[in-house]
């Protein structure tokens, strides 16, 4: 198996090479193949980074290894589709927060919202790395677990980001954060209301803009529906004066907020519901929980359409309207992809093995059918390609040690800092975790 | 019989016809007649009739002489009384019998006049008959009977020659048969009426042998004949002695009295038959030759046939004619089978043809050449032989090594000491049975002096050593291993480390998870109690209790948020719904309110509690308000025990909890009620060192593990239900299956015992997997899993499926070993708990780390 004959094709017409088959050594890997193609293209002085697809799978090994793994003979002619490789995300900025960052949301091209275990919501300017706005959710330390930027509406001031954060206090706090840094300093955030009703910590939020509804997943096993209409939010009833007085008596600095009850509850999961994702186009909600199940909810009837189970607890969900795939992170290192519309959708369509520990957050590239990013407890953030199930496309953030590690005896090495959240949008990947740093990368979705 | 078989040929060898069975009876009369014939006519006659009287009168002396001959004598007397007295008549002649000799001697004492007076009439009467009898009965009879016994060597030729003819006569006459014999006698004695009478009288004499049916009549004949019983010894030995030998008793058999030469001469002159008699040395008597014998002698002298009337020129009888008959014997037509080929022959031939075609028979197959020499060293000696399926090959001898060489390497040669030691040792004690020797060349090697001994020993080894055919049992070793399911089929179970909870600086002895599994409380030897978020290992709060926390238990009720923490001599009741607790934010308002309400109020007075329970016990436990420092951290109550508390465990409903304080006497086990803030002492007596106590998950039972036993008490009936015998030396931990029907116990002697409470008080299984003492065991509340942690730092995870079917025993399969915690001061994994909903395991170790395994 010294040589195999390959035929190079491409979808990009300007990079097409002659369709003749070429015999090349079977030991060639991606770099050598790229060199061959660049040679054929006459770009020896300015080579293009290329990736090669065989049967819809990115070539990540030598041709010989590929043939052997697939039980193919060297007599076969391989058709290699090449495409310009995606460059790895480039770091844009890293912002230091005071505590673990547990949730991150990308608001606009230069605004990233983060929530942390200290109960603080921050709006960051990715251009200069400054905190644009900051809001302490509750008086005590309320670890926040989820953050969401609600889309702007007509009534909303353009300079304001409406953010929904939720955490262990079992409430969703809607707060208007300033999107711009005033010349005289941070504009004070304006909490709007609290969405209450859960009896357990809230783990995930999902918003469906068409319905203008917010969905919350909680440890109490229910998913609750809240209206995010401006009118509804502002019509919240303020807590009774007596209670307010009592709260004031406690060393609380934040004033009590009006509490808005849920529109309804969706029950189905056994145990905690830990992940949510929504498909606005089809008005579908996806939820995953500790019962190892992923449920598909029809939002017009608020009933479970489908239940898909796997062997591990679901920790994260992300739906891509582009690829129409649902990606899920689990208590094992595997990212599972579900094709919700397929007939056998109860089965995992493919598994992406990229991490070494639980995958606690996944995020699709908004405009790509293949790319998604994942954050794991092994401390890494990776860009995965659906076409490359065995290996990640890029390691965005390598594992780092816990900063300021003091514990441990006998010079024990500092443990790896866990990554807890990742978001992808506006050409940016943002991730945060135990190292208290919000890191932002600029990532291309396609060439 | 040997004698008979030896004798018979001589007597009858020429006889072609077989002797009929009754032949044995025949010789008797012939013998008797022969005796009579051989007697002197005058003396013979006397004994025949004297027999009835003679023995009584004349043989009295003989009786005295040989008592031992009684039997024989009786036979003689019975069979032929005449013979007894016969010899007596031969006073001047040779005796016939040895025993008779004496009697003859007695008879000899009679004067001829006396003898004749007695025997004369008898002899007169019987002589003609006897003479005729003798003439009839062939010479062969006489010779055959007596030839081997007393025939002189010189006579043998004649006798043999005579026998030829005699036997023919015998055959023809059928004289073997007794009746024939009689007829013969009649035929022979057809001379006169007197003869006939005597013939009738003959059988009267004969009966002797017939009395003894089983005795060979030949022998008896011989006995009758052999009057001399000295044996077959040369008579010349006794030429110079007065006796001719010894009888069976060793007494001398005397020679008959013989007169001097003058007497001999005179008697010779007197005896007209002297010329026709010969002297029988053995019987010491003269035997007179009969007419027939003389005739035979004369015939032989003339070179004629000895037998009378033998015609050497009789015509030939052509039994098988040489002429070919031209006409068939039968007129029947020839059968068809003569003309058609034989079907059976064809079948036979075809069988052979088929065998040849199939190669079973190879014609002209060269014979396998047998090897000329047998290769005793060849491998085939050890092989099983085809002809003997049970053949046991002889054990092979060890092949000679260097030490046996004629030119061994130097190291094999004996030194002087070794040689001396070898010589001094007993042959059995020597390691080798020779002294290694070195020779310059093979030529110089002498013959092996021990060769014979060596071969002998080898032969002894071969045939004295019992050989046993050992049937090798072909067992696949894998099949002996119990069939256990593949661990892959038993998933899920924790396999990998997910999260490590770092923060404690001392060994973490206990921890507890919230009912949902979201949070965890852990207590450490450093006196800290920590609250963790399980999913991310985020430490949410730290309590400093001051004393090592040994046990933490989270109230299983979902309506209250309470934990019990045992530290020092106290159990702290922690209000987790308090706003001062980080967890408080995770507690919904209703639960927090319920908790606060329940924990508010005063503790029930101890005295009241005692009186209510009807026990008169000194207060051993006291519910106290916490110190200010503890109260600030959310501790609602502390229950003071007065002795260090070891464990604390909640009832499933969350209202009661049980604490154990070892070495606290009867108050080692205390049951506390949360709502009433009240303690009870369930036992009056101390049953031993209490290790741990738990409430039964379904029944109102309390399980108390002491050092070796687990006792199950019914709290309602206030009675003991069961006492489980562990068989271990020191129990360290205990847990119950969620169904409540199974109990596992870990012990410091590395054992894990599983009881099926339905099966009895002995452990259903005792497992010993760990290298070190077990520290903790735990059942998963929903998955069929249980695990044990040990001081070796490992955690063994088992699949422990319990079937609802009572007939099926629990299935226990070890599925995973987790190397969880590095031992610190020989303490390893101290505690483990299962996640309440997930197949996740949480373990804590002496290294201060808590680990979540998924």
Distance from CA of B503 to the nearest CA of A (A): 6
Residue A100 sits at the chain B interface (C-beta within 8 Å):
yes
CB of B516 within 8 Å of a chain A CB? The answer is yes
Q: Which of A39, A36, A34, A15 is nearest to A24 (CA)?
A: A36
Q: Using one digit for the tens of pLDDT, what is the confidence trace for A139-192?
A: 677 889 999 998 887 766 777 888 999 988 888 999 888 887 777 777 788 888
CB-based contact B502 A331, cutoff 8 Å? no
Query: In the structure, what pLDDT confidence band is assigned to residue B832 with cuts at 50, 70 and 90?
Result: very high
Query: With an 8 Å Cβ cutoff, are B837 and A408 in contact?
Result: no
pLDDT at B268: 82
Residue of A nearest to B839 (CA): A312
**How close A364 gets to chain B, by Cα (Å)?**
23
- Is the CB of residue A313 less than 8 Å away from at least one CB of chain B? yes
**What value of ipTM does the predicted structure carry?**
0.90
Least confident of A150-154, B91-95, B124-128, B849-853: B91-95
Instruction: Measure in Å the smallest separation between the Cα of A31 and chain B Cα atoms.
Output: 35
Contact B591 A199 (CB under 8 A): yes
Range from B61-70, B360-369, B472-481 carrying the lowest mean pLDDT: B61-70
pLDDT in tens, B192-234: 444 444 444 334 444 444 444 444 444 444 444 556 677 778 8
- Select from B125, B149, B105, B136 the least CA-distant residue to B46: B125
pLDDT digits (tens, 9 = 90+) for A384-442: 999 888 888 889 888 888 877 765 555 667 888 999 999 998 889 999 999 888 899 99
| Domains observed in chain B | 2-301 (no CATH), 400-445 (no CATH), 490-853 (2.130.10.10)
pLDDT tens, position by position, A247-256: 433 444 456 7
The pLDDT-based confidence of A242 (bands split at 50, 70, 90) is very low
Q: Which residues of A touch B588 (CB under 8 A)?
A: 170, 198-200, 220
Q: Taking a contact as any Cβ pair under 8 Å apart, which residues of chain A between 194 and 253 contact chain B?
A: 198-201, 219-220, 250
Among the listed ranges A104-108, B100-104, B268-272, B659-663, which one has the minimum average pLDDT value?
A: B100-104
Please judge whether A201 and B586 are an interchain contact, meaning their C-beta atoms are less than 8 angstroms apart: yes
Test A357 with B498 for CB contact under 8 angstroms: yes
Helix (H, G, I), strand (E, B) or coil at A367: coil
Beta-carbon count within 10 A of B594 CB: 18
CB-CB under 8 Å, A331 with B585: no
- H/E stretch holding A161: strand A160-167
B506-519 average pLDDT score: 91
CA distance A208 to chain B (A): 26
Kindly tell me the burial class for residue B614, based on how many C-beta atoms sit within 10 Å of its own C-beta (0-12, 13-18, 19 or more): exposed
User: Partners of B755 in the beta sheet?
Assistant: B743
User: Which residues of chain B neighbour A312 with C-beta distances below 8 Å?
Assistant: 492, 854
CA distance B747 to chain A (A): 30
pLDDT for B334 equals: 86
Contacts of B854 in chain A (CB under 8 A): 312, 331-332, 358
The Cα–Cα gap between A31 and A390 comes to 18
Would an 8 Å CB–CB cutoff place B538 in contact with chain A?
yes
Tell me the average pLDDT across B488-502.
89
The total of other beta-carbon atoms located within 10 Å of residue B104's CB is 34
Q: What's the CA angle centered on B246, arms B243 and B251, to 5 degrees?
A: 95
Percent of chain A with pLDDT over 70: 92
Contact criterion met (CB < 8 Å) for B586 and A408:
no
Q: Chain A within 8 Å of B498 (Cβ-Cβ)?
A: yes
- Residue B506, min C-alpha distance to chain A (Å): 10
**Cβ contacts (< 8 Å) between B579 and chain A: which residues?**
140, 250
Please answer yes or no on whether A198 and B499 come within 8 Å at the CB atom.
no
Contact between chains at B838 and A290 (C-beta distance less than 8 A): yes
Q: Which residues of A touch B837 (CB under 8 A)?
A: 271-272, 290-291
**Average pLDDT taken over every residue of chain B:** 75
Contact A374, A329 (CB under 8 A): yes
Report the b/e string of B821-842 with b at 16+ CB within 10 A: bebbeebbbbbbbbbbbbbbbb
Domains in chain A (CATH in brackets) are: 3-84 (3.10.20.90), 90-442 (2.130.10.10)
What is the reported pTM?
A: 0.64
Measured between beta carbons, the chain B residues lying within 8 angstroms of A219 are 516, 518
> Which of A341, A315, A346 shows the shortest CA–CA distance to A328?
A315
* Average pLDDT of the segment spanning B93-100: 44
Tell me, what DSSP letter sits at residue B821?
Answer: -
Span A349-371, pLDDT tens digits: 889 988 999 999 999 999 888 89
Cβ distance of B838 and A331 shorter than 8 Å: yes
Give the pLDDT of residue B53: 42
Q: Is B591 on the interface with A (CB under 8 A)?
A: yes
- What is the model's pLDDT at position B13? 38
Q: Which residue has the higher pLDDT, B107 or B636?
A: B636
Give residue B38's pLDDT band: very low, low, confident or very high (50, 70, 90).
very low
Quick one: tokens of B54? 């003679």
Residues of A in Cβ contact (< 8 Å) with B585? 138, 140-143, 168-170
Q: At B472, phi and psi to the nearest 5?
A: -75, 125
Residue of B nearest to A410 (CA): B847
Q: Which pLDDT band holds residue B129 (cuts at 50, 70, 90)?
A: low
d(CA B234, CA B400): 65
Which residues of chain B neighbour A248 with C-beta distances below 8 Å? none
Distances (CA, A) of B318 to A318, B83, B315, B324: 131, 49, 9, 13
Facing residue for A142 by CB, picked from B585, B837, B847: B585
Distance CA A19, CA B536 (A): 53
Nearest 5°: phi and psi at B823?
-65, 135
Q: How far is A435 from chain B (nearest CA, A)?
A: 12
Least Cα distance to B755 among B780, B727, B716, B794 occurs for B727
Render the burial of A67-76: b for 16+ CB within 10 Å, e for the rest.
beeeeeeeee
Confidence band for A69, pLDDT divided at 50, 70 and 90: confident
3-state secondary structure of A234: helix
Contact A169 B533 (CB under 8 A): no
Residues in B closer than 8 angstroms to A358, CB to CB, are 498-499, 854
**Would the CB atoms of A201 and B590 count as touching at under 8 Å?**
no
Contact B516 A219 (CB under 8 A): yes
Written as one string, the DSSP assignment of B49-116 is HHTTTHHHHTTHHHHHH-GGGHHHHHHHHHHHHHHHHHHHHTTTS--SBHHHHHHHHHHHHS-HHHHH
Select from A137, A138, A143 the residue whose CB has the most chain B CBs within 10 Å, as the one to mutate to test that interface. Answer: A143
Residues in A closer than 8 angstroms to B492, CB to CB, are: 311-312
Look at residue B658 in the predicted model and tell me its pLDDT: 93
Task: Check residue B89 and give its pLDDT.
Answer: 41
Judge whether A120 and A99 are in contact, CB under 8 Å. Answer: yes
* Contact call for B837 and A271, based on CB within 8 A: yes
Query: How high is the pLDDT of residue B549?
Result: 93
Cα-Cα end-to-end distance for chain A = 34
Nearest Cα residue in chain A from B491? A311
Give one word for B178, left, alpha or beta, with left for phi > 0 and alpha for psi -120 to 50.
alpha
Q: Which of residues 15-44 of A touch B (CB under 8 A)?
A: none
Query: Residue B607 above 80 pLDDT?
Result: no
Considering only CB atoms, which chain B residues are within 8 Å of A291? 837
Q: Is the model more confident about B189 or about A24?
A: A24
């Amino acid at each position: 198996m010294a040589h195999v004959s390959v035929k190079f094709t491409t979808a990009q017409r300007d990079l097409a090479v002659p369709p003749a088959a070429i015999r090349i050594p079977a030991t060639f890997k991606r770099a050598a193949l790229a060199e061959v193609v660049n040679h054929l293209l006459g770009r020896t002085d300015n080579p293009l980074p290329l990736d090669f697809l065989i049967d819809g799978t990115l070539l990540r090994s030598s041709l010989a290894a590929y043939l052997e793994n697939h039980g193919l003979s060297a007599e076969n002619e391989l058709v290699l589709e090449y495409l310009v490789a995606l460059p790895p995300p480039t770091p844009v900025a890293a912002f230091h927060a005071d505590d673990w960052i547990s949730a991150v949301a990308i608001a606009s091209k230069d605004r990233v919202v983060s929530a942390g275990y200290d109960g603080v919501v921050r709006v960051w300017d990715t251009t200069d790395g400054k905190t644009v706005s900051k809001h302490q959710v509750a008086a005590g330390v309320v670890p926040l677990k989820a953050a969401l930027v609600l889309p702007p509406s007509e009534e909303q001031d353009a300079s304001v980001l409406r953010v929904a954060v939720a955490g262990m206090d079992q409430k969703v706090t809607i707060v208007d954060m300033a999107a711009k840094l005033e010349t005289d300093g941070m504009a004070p955030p304006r909490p709007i209301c609290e969405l209450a009703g859960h009896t357990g910590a809230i783990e995930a939020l999902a918003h469906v803009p068409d319905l203008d509804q917010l969905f919350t997943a909680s440890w109490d096993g229910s998913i609750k529906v809240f209206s995010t209409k401006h009118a509804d939010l502002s019509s919240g009833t303020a807590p009774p004066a007596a209670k307010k007085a009592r709260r004031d008596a406690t060393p609380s600095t934040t004033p009590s907020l009006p509490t808005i009850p849920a529109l309804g509850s969706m029950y189905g999961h056994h145990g905690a519901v830990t992940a949510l994702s929504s498909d606005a186009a089809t008005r579908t909600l996806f939820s995953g929980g500790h019962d190892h199940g992923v449920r598909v909810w029809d939002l017009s009837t608020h009933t479970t359409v489908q239940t898909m189970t796997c062997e591990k607890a679901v920790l994260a969900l992300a739906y891509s309207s582009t690829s129409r795939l649902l990606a899920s992170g689990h208590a094992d290192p595997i990212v599972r992809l579900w094709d919700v519309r397929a007939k056998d959708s109860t089965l995992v369509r493919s598994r992406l093995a990229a991490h070494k520990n639980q995958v606690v957050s996944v995020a699709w590239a908004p405009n790509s059918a293949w790319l998604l990013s994942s954050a794991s407890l092994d401390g890494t953030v990776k860009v995965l390609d659906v076409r490359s199930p065995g290996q990640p496309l890029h390691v965005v953030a390598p594992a780092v040690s816990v900063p300021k590690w003091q514990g441990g005896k006998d010079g024990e090495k500092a443990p790896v800092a866990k990554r807890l959240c990742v978001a992808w949008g506006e050409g940016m990947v943002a991730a945060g975790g135990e190292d208290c740093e919000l890191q932002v990368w600029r990532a291309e979705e396609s060439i | 019989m040997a004698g008979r078989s030896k004798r018979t040929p001589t007597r009858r060898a020429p006889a072609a016809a077989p002797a009929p069975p009754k032949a044995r009876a025949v010789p008797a009369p012939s013998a008797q007649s022969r005796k009579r014939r051989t007697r002197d006519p005058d003396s013979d006659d006397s004994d025949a009739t004297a027999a009835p009287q003679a023995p009584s009168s004349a043989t009295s002396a003989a009786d005295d002489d040989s008592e031992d001959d009684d039997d024989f004598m009786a036979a003689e007397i019975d069979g032929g009384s005449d013979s007894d007295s016969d010899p007596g008549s031969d006073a001047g002649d040779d005796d016939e019998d040895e025993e008779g000799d004496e009697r003859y001697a007695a008879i000899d004492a009679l004067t001829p006049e006396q003898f004749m007076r007695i025997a004369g009439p008898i002899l007169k009467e019987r002589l003609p008959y006897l003479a005729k009898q003798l003439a009839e009965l062939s010479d062969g009879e006489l010779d055959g009977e007596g030839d081997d016994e007393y025939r002189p060597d010189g006579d043998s030729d004649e006798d043999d020659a005579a026998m030829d003819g005699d036997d023919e006569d015998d055959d023809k006459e059928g004289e073997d048969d007794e009746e024939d014999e009689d007829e013969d006698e009649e035929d022979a004695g057809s001379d006169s009426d007197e003869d006939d009478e005597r013939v009738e009288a003959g059988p009267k004499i004969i009966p002797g042998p017939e009395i003894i049916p089983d005795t060979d009549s030949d022998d008896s004949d011989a006995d009758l004949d052999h009057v001399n019983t000295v044996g077959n010894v040369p008579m010349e030995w006794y030429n110079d002695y007065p006796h001719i030998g010894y009888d069976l008793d060793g007494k001398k058999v005397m020679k008959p009295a013989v007169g001097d030469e003058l007497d001999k001469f005179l008697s010779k002159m007197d005896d007209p038959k002297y010329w026709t008699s010969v002297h029988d040395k053995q019987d010491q008597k003269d035997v007179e030759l009969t007419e027939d014998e003389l005739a035979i002698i004369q015939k032989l002298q003339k070179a004629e046939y000895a037998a009378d009337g033998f015609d050497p020129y009789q015509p030939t009888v052509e039994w098988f004619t040489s002429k070919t008959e031209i006409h068939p014997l039968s007129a029947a037509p020839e059968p068809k089978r003569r003309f058609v080929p034989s079907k059976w022959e064809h079948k036979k031939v075809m069988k052979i043809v088929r065998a040849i075609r199939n190669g079973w028979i190879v014609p002209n197959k060269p014979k396998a050449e047998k090897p000329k020499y047998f290769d005793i060293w060849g491998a085939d000696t050890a092989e099983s032989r085809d002809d003997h399926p049970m053949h046991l090959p002889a054990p092979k001898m060890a092949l000679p090594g260097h030490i046996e060489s004629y030119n061994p390497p130097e190291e094999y040669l004996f030194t002087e000491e070794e040689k001396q030691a070898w010589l001094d040792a007993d042959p059995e004690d020597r390691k080798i049975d020779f002294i290694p020797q070195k020779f310059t060349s093979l030529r110089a090697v002498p013959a092996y002096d021990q060769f014979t001994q060596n071969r002998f020993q080898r032969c002894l080894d071969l045939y004295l050593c019992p050989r046993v055919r050992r049937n090798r049992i072909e067992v696949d070793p894998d099949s002996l291993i119990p069939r256990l399911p593949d661990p892959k089929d038993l998933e899920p179970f924790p396999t990998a480390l997910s999260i490590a909870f770092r923060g404690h600086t001392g060994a973490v002895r206990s921890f507890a998870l919230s009912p949902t599994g979201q949070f965890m409380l852990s207590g450490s030897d450093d006196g800290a109690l920590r609250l963790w978020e399980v999913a991310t290992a985020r430490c949410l709060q730290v309590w400093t209790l001051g004393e090592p926390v040994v046990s933490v238990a989270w109230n299983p009720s979902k309506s209250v948020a309470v934990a019990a923490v045992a530290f020092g001599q106290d159990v702290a009741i922690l209000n987790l719904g308090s706003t001062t607790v980080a967890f408080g934010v995770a507690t919904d308002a209703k639960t927090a309110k319920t908790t606060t309400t329940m924990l508010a109020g005063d503790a029930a007075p101890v005295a009241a509690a005692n009186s209510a329970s009807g026990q008169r016990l000194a207060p051993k436990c006291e519910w106290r308000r916490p110190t200010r420092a503890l109260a600030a951290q959310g501790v609602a109550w502390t229950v003071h025990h007065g002795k260090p508390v070891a464990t604390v465990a909640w009832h499933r409903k969350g209202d009661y909890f049980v604490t154990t304080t070892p070495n606290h006497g009867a108050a080692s086990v205390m049951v506390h009620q949360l709502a009433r803030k009240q303690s009870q002492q369930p036992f009056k007596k101390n049953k031993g060192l209490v290790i741990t106590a738990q409430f039964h998950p379904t029944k109102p039972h309390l399980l108390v593990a002491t050092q070796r036993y687990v006792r199950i008490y019914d709290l309602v009936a206030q009675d003991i239900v069961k006492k489980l015998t562990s068989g271990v030396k020191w129990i360290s931990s205990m847990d119950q299956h969620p169904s409540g029907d199974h109990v596992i116990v870990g012990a410091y002697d590395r054992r894990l015992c599983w009881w099926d409470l339905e099966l009895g008080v002995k452990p259903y299984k005792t497992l010993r997997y760990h290298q070190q003492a077990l520290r903790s065991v735990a059942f998963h509340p929903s998955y069929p899993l249980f695990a044990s942690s040990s001081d070796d730092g490992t955690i063994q995870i088992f699949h422990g499926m319990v079937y609802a079917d009572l007939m099926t025993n629990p299935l226990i399969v070890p599925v995973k070993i987790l190397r969880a915690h590095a031992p610190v001061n020989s303490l390893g994994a101290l505690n483990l708990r299962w996640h309440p909903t997930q197949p996740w395991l949480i373990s804590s170790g002496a290294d201060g780390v808590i680990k979540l395994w998924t």
